[in-house]
Structure 1
Amino acid sequence: MKKLVLTMLSIAGMMLFTALPAKACTSYYVGKDCTKDGTTMYGRTEDISSRKDKVYKVIQAKHVGKNAVYKDESGATEFQAPIKVDTTYRYTICRDNEGDEDGYFGEFGTNSKGVTMSATTSASAARSIRQYDPYVKNTGITEENLTDYILCQASTAREGVEILADVMDTIGAGEGNGLFIADKNEVWYFEMLLGHNYCAIKMPSNKAAVIPNCLVIGDVDLSDKENVIASPNLVKVAKNNGFYVPAQDGKGDINVKLSYTGKGYSAGNADRIRGGQYLLNGQDNTAIYTDDYQDIFINVKNVTVEKLYELAGYRYENMNFGRDISRVIGVKSSAECHIFQIDSSMPAELATVQWVCMGNADMSTFVPFYGALLTDVSRAYKMEAHNYNSRAAYWIFRNVGFLCEDGDNRTAYGKGVKQFYTAYMTKMEELQKNVNAQMLNVYKNDKANLEYYATKLGIAIGDETMDFAKALYADIQTCKADGTTYEVSSLSADDITYDLSMVAAPAKKAESITVTKPDTQIKKVAAPARVKVRAKALKGKKAKVNLKKVAQASGYEIMYSTNMNFTKKATKKVSTTKITKTIRKLKKKKTYYIKARAYKLDGKTKVYGKWSLIKKVVIKK
């Protein structure tokens, strides 16, 4: 197994391979003055392949000492550059699995200092001008290394920008890219223009932008050191070689986009800008197709996480282009999508919620994590599975997309899936507010256990959301077999559990944490966790139901019915010693819906947990 190793400069060089960047991604940004809750949001879709397994994992901190050098130990490039810290920072990363031969390709992540990155939307300068400052192949920094190299050592967003700028000044870039680097206070957009030329701008709080695979930075004032960081020769290279275009506002030093691309946007890129802008502000910007169009920023109001979820999967359903569309945003080739939601009023550890979507957001959903605090993730998220594996998070979420994305399946199955996931996102964003309050309470009263709660909560909500995806997949398979249209009747956003009650208190200092819910009072005995259920039909008109044990449960109830709304139902009691139950005397050729819940005893009173997700079995004979 390959490992990312931080080594000393004296270690031998790596094998010669060239990394292959993702070529069709779409980034998005919304400043805090443009959102409904005053948080800053940014992110990206990674569009490369519908069968490009991704893992989400934690890279632990490592003591490397002084004068250490980062090396690309994947074998994909020869890139190496100095590490500026004695001990690297822990960080989360979403990247290719280690079975891939083209390298790691870290796409997004958060480090323990609260620095976040989204890398990259591949974008290059015009081919005719690359000769004047060529890309540095093999040894230059590329998408393959960007996120790992910067997150392991950047303590602020500006420092991350400066680290990348220094690498481009001294070593160079192996390709063109656009990427975000942020912390709780500011978001920077960095464009790697040529081998040693670049420009980064601090993103405005009162604007939004949709950025496809093209350079988008327009007029810049190089004297504005607070908001612009650029290569020393940015203007000189353009002027000396005849491709310089002055700032269009008459105030700045250069228009980066028109200088380094020489024209407007291609049809595929322009379509994505137009479609994304329309979804965010309702205005159909057809001017985007003109050669001199260069201002990427727009005015929007009241944007939510749910709206960016819709954007990440958007196919221009309510637009009329009057022609075949060159490129939609929500393509089935998205391997992952992500949103960073930043609340500058929160402590750095809690300021950023990292919303992670495995697969295409059009037929998947985002799951929230406190990336700066995670010390681990669920086994399914970090499972390396180059080929299909029903236990790997990527494939669990991607399965539903395979069934729903194309042709008549979008109507027969996709409509119901989209209905459920949209309701899920609405509920999750509301619940996140309560979780933020709970985690802030932990921060103030039991900070030593903050990482513990964030990690356990992340594992719990990740696992719960995977259970929903598994249930959707099973329901659709049943509908395919029956030849029926899928409607989400057996799943509801009301089934979601998302708060610190999902986390068992640590062995010590448990009494210092008060977990509150938005609409309920604290019980003397906390409700048990939701039980997980498996069910299958047996011969002889029977069904076998297996329950997974819940900690401290006093017993369980199983409910079953031929009606998915359980208007006519029967129940079975299950003890804690034998949690497998066989239901007998069922009717032949009937579909049965089965759910279960655990309970604890508060004296003689039963305190019930939430019902499990509903399972279906068909009694054939």
Structure 2
Amino acid sequence: MKVSMLAAGIALLCVGQANACTTILVGNQATNDGSFIIARNEDSSATNPKHMVIHPAVAQQTGVFKSHDNDFTWPLPHSALRYTAIHDDNTQDQSMGEAGFNSAGVGMSATETIYNGAQALKYDPYVVKTGITEDSIQTVVLPYIHSAREGVELLGHIIEQKGAGEGFGVAFIDDHSIWYLETGSGHQWMATRLPADTYFISANQGRLQQYNPQDKHNYLASPTLIAFAEKHGLYQADKGPFNFHQAYSEDTANDVTYNYPRVWALQHQFNPTLTTQVTDGKQFPVFLQPAHKISVADVEKALQNHYQGTPHDPYANNNPQEPWRPVSVFRAQESHVLQVRPKLPRAIGDVEYVAFGMPSLSVYLPYYAGMTHYLPGYDKGTGNASPDSVPWQYRVLQTLVMQDYNAYAPDVQRAYQAFQQQTATRQHAMEQAYLKAYKTEPKKATQIIQKFEDKTMTDALALTHKLTWQVLTKMTHNTDMKYHFEGA
């Protein structure tokens, strides 16, 4: 697309805190269709296009995985499952996989950047040079696990053996449960099974609190989690039950504007009658039952939140210095929603909804586990804008819109919303056709999925190109009016 050259020249280089994401988990009794949902915005750099890749199963695998970002290594098991990933552009080393499903029906999202407490890190600091970090987690975990719980156990084992190079939260999903793991320090961690009738939101802060070491069904942790906290004065048993957040996390002045508003806004979206205030971050509920059952569309809407209709909307109010950090930021690289519907065949029951770039100016497309390939360009793109990269084609439109958000955003958002609604109707028809064919005509069933995917990806790109030229036309007219220099 020729307009990419223009976008490269005017791109907004939004520099900020790396990997500052927002995570949403929804249990199957809290959704409108009985599905499990995990979701996250990946925020870092607007000029880092993500690649969507399907990795085939590998047998007789040998060698060692080596991190792209530090000296972390991990032996590669003999066999690896097929899995999907959303990578950075250095896919030759399978680095920085953010989210995906494997062929066993297990999905994961990695990572939510969090910050552990200074006292905990004083006694057990991050293993920065050789510990596991975000760029390695999906690649060394997802291809080798057969349940969400097993994912927690493997990642926890790696943290204990090699250490964590940074603070993070990681979500796992399968057709039985959702698990969420948070680091506590360099070698301490805990994880909990999401209560089925609740949802959970995290915004760059450790959020887990309750831990019951006797309840192995719902909790997992490093074996010395409580003993370490007691030894170093992070927890005193005579002052009440162990609280993981109080022992291993922290609340700082920055949280009041950077983290609390996001959790507060989304909890109030799902529970409008909540009486909490933004400054009540230390008392925010960890798990909540929603006022109404939550859909995938509701989660997508939450990931697009930027305090619309309030004085804190930085885009409508043209205020890049807005202190409240929104959920949807321009430097978002992608946004994903992983859904598991246990009652359906895995090929259509596991769906990954992905929007490239800034969620509030993008479109969520469904990618089914049964698809066989993405369109050309899904695995292309570097730090320089280029027309052969699908992620950059979405970013071009977003960059143009951000030059005058109020003038251009409404038309783009209406068009994308209509497309998502049309796609949902087509999804239902495709799934019904698949269910009729998959038992007796498996090849035809796979073709049904792929035909749907090819059309959806193609039509979304065509719409994006159309919107890009519409916005560019308006920009051209506005520039003409600004510098018209009529004579008479």
Pick which of 328-337 and 437-446 moved more.
Answer: 437-446
Find 2:379's aligned residue among 373, 379, 382.
382
Find 1:28's aligned residue among 19, 24, 29.
24
- Cα 1:288–1:482 change in 2 (3 A) is closer
Q: Which residue of 1 aligns with 2:88?
A: 96
Q: Is the Cα contact below 8 Å between 1:157 and 1:183 reproduced in 2?
A: yes
Query: What secondary structure does 2:348 align onto?
Result: helix
Q: Is the Cα contact below 8 Å between 1:243 and 1:262 reproduced in 2?
A: no
1:344-381: CA deviations, max 9, x gaps?
A: 211233321100111011100111011x3343211111
Q: Which residue of 2 aligns with 1:133?
A: 124
Q: CA deviation at 1:100?
A: 11
Find 1:289's aligned residue among 268, 271, 279.
279
Q: CA deviation at 1:207?
A: 1.0
The answer to which structure has the higher strand fraction is 1
In the alignment, is residue 208 of structure 1 matched against residue 179 of structure 2?
no
For 1:429 and 1:33, the matched residues in 2 are separated by 22
For 2:242 and 2:233, the matched residues in 1 are separated by 13
Matches within 5 A, 1:104-123: 104-123=95-114
Which of these two proteins has the greater Rg computed from alpha carbons? 1
Q: CA deviation at 1:222?
A: 1.4
In the alignment, is residue 153 of structure 1 matched against residue 151 of structure 2?
no
Q: Is the Cα contact below 8 Å between 1:274 and 1:285 reproduced in 2?
A: no
Q: Which residue of 1 aligns with 2:333?
A: 335
Find 2:74's aligned residue among 75, 81, 92.
81
In the alignment, is residue 314 of structure 1 matched against residue 305 of structure 2?
yes
Q: Which residue of 2 aligns with 1:16?
A: none
Q: Is the Cα contact below 8 Å between 1:99 and 1:384 reproduced in 2?
A: no
The answer to which structure has the higher helix fraction is 2
Q: CA deviation at 1:200?
A: 0.8
C-alpha RMSD over aligned residues: 2.6
TM-score w.r.t. structure 1 length? 0.69
- Cα 1:150–1:191 change in 2 (3 A) is same
Q: Which residue of 2 aligns with 1:237?
A: 228
Q: CA deviation at 1:184?
A: 1.7
- Identify the structure with bigger relative contact order (alpha carbons < 8 Å, sequence gap 6+): 2
Q: CA deviation at 1:240?
A: 0.8
For 2:81 and 2:362, the matched residues in 1 are separated by 31
Q: Which residue of 2 aligns with 1:271?
A: 261
Query: What secondary structure does 1:354 align onto?
Result: strand
Q: Which residue of 1 aligns with 2:364?
A: 366
For 1:245 and 1:452, the matched residues in 2 are separated by 60
- Cα 1:149–1:375 change in 2 (3 A) is farther
Q: Which residue of 1 aligns with 2:183?
A: 192
1:403-436: CA deviations, max 9, x gaps?
A: 1135xx2221111111111222233234323322
In the alignment, is residue 424 of structure 1 matched against residue 419 of structure 2?
yes
Query: What secondary structure does 1:423 align onto?
Result: helix
Query: What secondary structure does 1:362 align onto?
Result: helix
- Cα 1:99–1:436 change in 2 (3 A) is closer
- Cα 1:478–1:286 change in 2 (3 A) is same
Q: Is the Cα contact below 8 Å between 2:206 and 2:250 reproduced in 1?
A: no
Q: Which residue of 1 aligns with 2:288?
A: 298
TM-score w.r.t. structure 2 length? 0.86
Find 1:433's aligned residue among 415, 428, 446.
428
Q: Is the Cα contact below 8 Å between 1:108 and 1:118 reproduced in 2?
A: yes
For 2:145 and 2:331, the matched residues in 1 are separated by 31
Query: What secondary structure does 2:86 align onto?
Result: strand
Aligned residues: 454
For 1:21 and 1:166, the matched residues in 2 are separated by 28
Q: Which runs of 5+ in 2 are unaligned?
A: 1-15, 314-320, 480-488
Matches within 5 A, 1:395-414: 395-406=392-403, 409-414=404-409
For 2:259 and 2:162, the matched residues in 1 are separated by 30
Q: CA deviation at 1:245?
A: 6.3
Q: CA deviation at 1:285?
A: 4.8
Query: What secondary structure does 1:422 align onto?
Result: helix
For 2:370 and 2:425, the matched residues in 1 are separated by 21
Task: In structure 2, give the amino acid aligned to 1:337.
Answer: S
Percentage of matched positions with identical amino acids: 26
Task: In structure 1, give the amino acid aligned to 2:171.
Answer: F
Find 2:46's aligned residue among 31, 47, 50.
50
Q: CA deviation at 1:304?
A: 2.1
- Cα 1:308–1:240 change in 2 (3 A) is same
- Cα 1:158–1:349 change in 2 (3 A) is farther
- Cα 1:286–1:467 change in 2 (3 A) is same
For 2:237 and 2:431, the matched residues in 1 are separated by 46
Q: Which residue of 1 aligns with 2:438?
A: 443
Q: Is the Cα contact below 8 Å between 1:100 and 1:386 reproduced in 2?
A: no
Task: In structure 1, give the amino acid aligned to 2:87.
Answer: R
- Cα 1:262–1:77 change in 2 (3 A) is closer
Task: In structure 2, give the amino acid aligned to 1:60.
Answer: P
Q: Which residue of 2 aligns with 1:61?
A: 57
1:113-154: CA deviations, max 9, x gaps?
A: 111111111012112320211211222111011011111111
